Amino acid sequence: MFFRLRSEATIRDTVEFVGVGVHSGRQTNMRVLPATEGHGIIFKRTDVKSNRAIIKLSPNAIVDPTLCTRVVNNDGISVAVVEHLLAAFRICGITNAIVEVDTDEIPIMDGSALEFVNSFKDVGIVYQDAYIPAIIITEPVSISYKSTHIMISPADESSVSLKLSYDRINPVIGNNNSYSFYLDENLTKLASARTFGWIADYEKVRAMGLAKGTSEENTIAIAMDNTILNKGGLRDPRELVMHKCLDLLGDISVIGLDIIGKIEGVNPSHATNNMLVRKLISELNKHEVVYPESRTSEFLCKIA
């Protein structure tokens, strides 16, 4: 098996975003700053005391992944709805960045990762000398929970293939219920897939203290008769399953290493994505982790 480790990368300059928190409903100001190689992704809450403000990305930092992915530090300081930003980082190849945010939630923007991706590409990506270690999957890793099943299998390349199949979604998407891609492809189209929800669930979710910032500007709204209420409809007939792929891409990136294997799933959720990552980490000795031997030249790995 031959594969090339990815270079670490950051952005060339600071990028600023202003938007609403989809759950809090509050205006959120966010800055993404460049970072040195080996830094990783760090979240910094600018509205709390500096000695408690830093949240380092890791699988163990994920807490209560209900309708979003939330990361928390040892002081209980958290940032929610990180998944679209993390997916944008992965799509752009960004591995090192500082994310400053003045509330406990990343702005939802239009419900996709597209504005993040476009802004990072506009400012420029800087490739660094270090390389990202990779986990070569040597035996299947799987999670089954209720209607969800998700698995990583050995493969020569990194790919994702997801399918949605449950009673309320089938009338909405019909045969447009599956989507597959390789992680080394241009994934800008995937970045444009928006989050979605049912009008019938709106009041129930608001009663949970969530979705206070939801609107048709940032969420695909599905009516009682299964029609799409947003002006212009869907951006792609497969947009709903594409968004689940986008969420998965962001959720698995918390691991901080590339995964060489095939990820397949049915009806994935943030909770099961996190369960899969945690299981993979707990069984890491069953797989092969490849570290770069050189930090200054392109590294081509060979695994017998």
Please say if the pLDDT value at position 249 is more than 90: yes
- Identity of residue 146: K
Any domain includes 301: no
Averaged over 23-41, what is the pLDDT? 96
Give yes or no: residues 114 and 213 share one domain.
no
pLDDT number for residue 251 = 96
Query: Which of residues 303 and 184 earns the better pLDDT score?
Result: 184
Any domain includes 303: no
Catalytic residue among 23, 84, 243, 270: 270
Give the helix/strand (H/E) hosting 293: none
Give yes or no: residues 38 and 157 share one domain.
no
Share of the chain above pLDDT 70, in %: 95
Longest dimension (CA), the chain: 58
Q: How many structural domains comprise the chain? A: 2
Which of 71, 101, 131 delimits the end of a domain? 131
Least confident of 56-70, 123-137, 277-291: 56-70
pLDDT number for residue 151 = 98
b/e 154-186 (16+ beta carbons within 10 angstroms → b): ebeebbbebbbeeeebeebbeebbebebebeee
| Domain extent at residue 92 | 2-131
Least confident of 26-30, 92-96, 202-206: 202-206
pLDDT number for residue 203 = 82
Give yes or no: residues 108 and 185 share one domain.
no
**Residue 1: which pLDDT band, with cuts at 50, 70 and 90?**
low
Averaged over 30-37, what is the pLDDT? 98
Averaged over 252-274, what is the pLDDT? 95
Any domain includes 140: yes
Could you please report the per-residue DSSP string of 40-79?
-EEEEETTS-GGG-EEE--GGGB---SSS-EEE-TTS-EE
Give yes or no: residues 19 and 106 share one domain.
yes
Query: Cα(241)–Cα(194) distance, rounded to whole angstroms?
Result: 10
Query: Cα(32)–Cα(108) distance, rounded to whole angstroms?
Result: 15
**270 assigned to active site:** yes
Mean pLDDT across the chain: 92
Give yes or no: residues 156 and 83 share one domain.
no
CATH number for the domain harbouring residue 94: 3.30.230.20
Please say if the pLDDT value at position 166 is more than 60: yes
Other C-beta atoms closer than 10 Å to the C-beta of 302 total 8
SS3 state at 244: helix
Give yes or no: residues 140 and 271 share one domain.
yes
Note the pLDDT tens digit of each residue in 128-165: 999 999 999 999 999 999 899 999 999 999 999 999 99
| pTM of the predicted model as reported, rounded to 2 decimal places | 0.94
Any domain includes 296: no
**Residue 50: which pLDDT band, with cuts at 50, 70 and 90?**
confident
Which of 131, 163, 187 delimits the end of a domain? 131
Give yes or no: residues 49 and 184 share one domain.
no
Please say if the pLDDT value at position 300 is more than 60: no
pLDDT number for residue 2 = 63
Averaged over 55-79, what is the pLDDT? 91
Which of 73, 100, 131 delimits the end of a domain? 131
pLDDT number for residue 304 = 30
